Amino acid sequence: MKTRILLFALLFTGLVSHAQQDAQFTQYMYNTININPAYAGSRGAMSIFALYRTQWVGLDGAPVTSAASMNTPLNESNLGLGVTVINDKIGPTNETTISADLSYTVPTSETWKLSFGIKATANLFDLDASKLNPVDNDPSLYNYSKFSPNIGTGIYWHSDKAYVGLSIPNFVETNRYDDEQVKIFKEKINYYLIAGYVFDLNENLKFKPALLTKVVEGAPLQIDASANFMIFDKLMLGASYRWSAAVSAMVGFQISDGLYVGYGYDRETTSLNNTNSGSHELFLRFELFSNINKITTPRFF
């Protein structure tokens, strides 16, 4: 097992030493606060979210991600507040990120609003060198921890039917593990563009195409395109395609006015498909509404 962990860790090292990306989510459209601080409070309710993702099941050292967040509008003001905690375990590394988000929203028309957001982040990175099983006790590999602060921003233009967002969650490039001999983990700037639109096909069926584009220096362009159907405002069925990486199936159910559960399954379209049985992602969202009229038609994003 340790040999497989070592091989994966070495592969991971080669991939991220040039450009590290943020944690990856298939159902990003329900976890928008993670990548865009301007989303905070936009649902008009206190929204509590929890997600668990296990990636590339069957491959030792593969990524396992846990995320929890809360965001809410502040009373009757134009302000929104959010807090997010993400733990990302990959091979010998364990990374925990805690973020606080503040948004300010202004109406641009009778149906559209424009939100501006800022994000402050604290990151704790740990490397457990014992999981690398180094040959001949290589002195350049040792247990390591580092704390890194960061700051980001975003804008989010939205109505009840559509949204467009631009964001940079982290402005500061940070070396997670870097000394004179070894450079393993570097956090690069991630640029995000998201968009989506809800079509009312009939009174019981809605269709929402959505797009996420992520740009990172030194890494391939990532494009996630998804198509989701909402049936009777209760059942969501969807699929997505991550360009040159994976295909996904998604299902969700509105259990009650404030409780929604969703599941996603990814299958790689790369050579990694031969080494694992896919990726699983499960989330739960609970919302507290101050005005019952706001939930007569459930929001699709």
Q: Hey, how many other C-beta atoms are within 10 angstroms of the C-beta on 149?
A: 11
Among the listed ranges 73-77, 112-116, 190-194, which one has the minimum average pLDDT value?
Answer: 73-77
Q: Is residue 291 over pLDDT 70?
A: no
The closest alpha carbon to 156, from 230, 264, 82, 242, belongs to 82
Q: Are strands 46-54 and 162-168 parallel, antiparallel or unpaired?
A: unpaired
Q: Which amino acid is at 90?
A: I
Among the listed ranges 7-11, 22-26, 90-94, 247-251, which one has the minimum average pLDDT value?
Answer: 7-11
Do the beta carbons of residue 222 and residue 245 sit within 8 Å?
A: yes
Task: Work out whether the CA dihedral 103, 34, 239, 232 comes out positive or negative.
Answer: negative
Give per-residue pLDDT as tens, 31-84. Answer: 899 999 999 999 989 999 999 999 999 988 899 999 999 999 998 889 999 999
Q: How far apart are CA 93 and CA 144, in angstroms?
A: 9
pLDDT at 131: 75
Place of tokens 């699709």: 300
pLDDT at 83: 97
Q: How far apart are CA 108 and CA 114, in angstroms?
A: 6
Q: What secondary structure letter does DSSP report for 181?
A: S
Q: Is 224 helix (H, G, I), strand (E, B) or coil?
A: strand
Q: Is residue 7 over pLDDT 50?
A: no
Percent of the chain with pLDDT over 90: 61
Strands (E), 203-292: 205-216, 222-231, 235-242, 246-254, 259-268, 279-288
Do the beta carbons of residue 25 and residue 34 sit within 8 Å?
A: yes
* Region label for 3, one of left (φ > 0), alpha (ψ between -120 and 50) or beta (otherwise): alpha
Task: Work out whether the CA dihedral 288, 290, 293, 294 comes out positive or negative.
Answer: negative
**Class of CATH domain 2-295:** mainly beta
| 117: its two tokens | 């957001």
Q: How far apart are CA 232 and CA 205, in angstroms?
A: 6
pTM score, whole prediction: 0.85
